Amino acid sequence: MTTVRGRHRIGKRFRFEASHFLTGLAPGHQCARMHGHSYEVEFILTAQELDGPGFVTDFGDLGPVKAYIDTTLDHRVLNEVLPIVPTSENLAEYLAGWFIDNVESAIPGQLSAVRVSETPTSMAEFEVAR
């Protein structure tokens, strides 16, 4: 069998409901008003070699991500609980940093990117530079 070189990639999606507003926008801009979204956040992990029975990371090892989202972001006003302006772009970068600080050292995979969607048709992605 031919040896193929590359990286394995997995993704795990989490959902939460939250509201936010954005400052510094033109008068009348819809995002300047308090409004809510059904957010979907996807964490993308990679590995050159698989761990254990053939995992990048066991999906069960991502439980701390769900716990953080449920206790910190779900049904909250993001402006009140985050130290960033809560755009999708900033939220993706913030969650990447949180993941690296709080989860990555305990799992075999490595974070590659975080995607944040506010609607089913729009998303922002933060790609981790290594």
State pLDDT tens for residues 60-117: 999 999 999 999 999 999 999 999 999 999 999 999 999 999 999 999 999 999 999 9
How far apart CA 108 and CA 43 sit, in angstroms, is 14
Q: Which CATH class is domain 8-127?
A: alpha beta
* Cβ count within 10 A of residue 80: 9
Which two three-digit tokens encode residue 53? 């029975």
Q: With 90 as the cut, is the pLDDT of residue 1 above it?
A: no
Q: With 90 as the cut, is the pLDDT of residue 43 above it?
A: yes
How far apart CA 122 and CA 106 sit, in angstroms, is 31
Phi/psi of residue 72, nearest 5 degrees: -110, -35
How far apart CA 104 and CA 59 sit, in angstroms, is 13
Give pTM, 2 decimals: 0.95
Residue type, 6: G
Binned at pLDDT 50, 70 and 90, residue 4 comes out as: confident
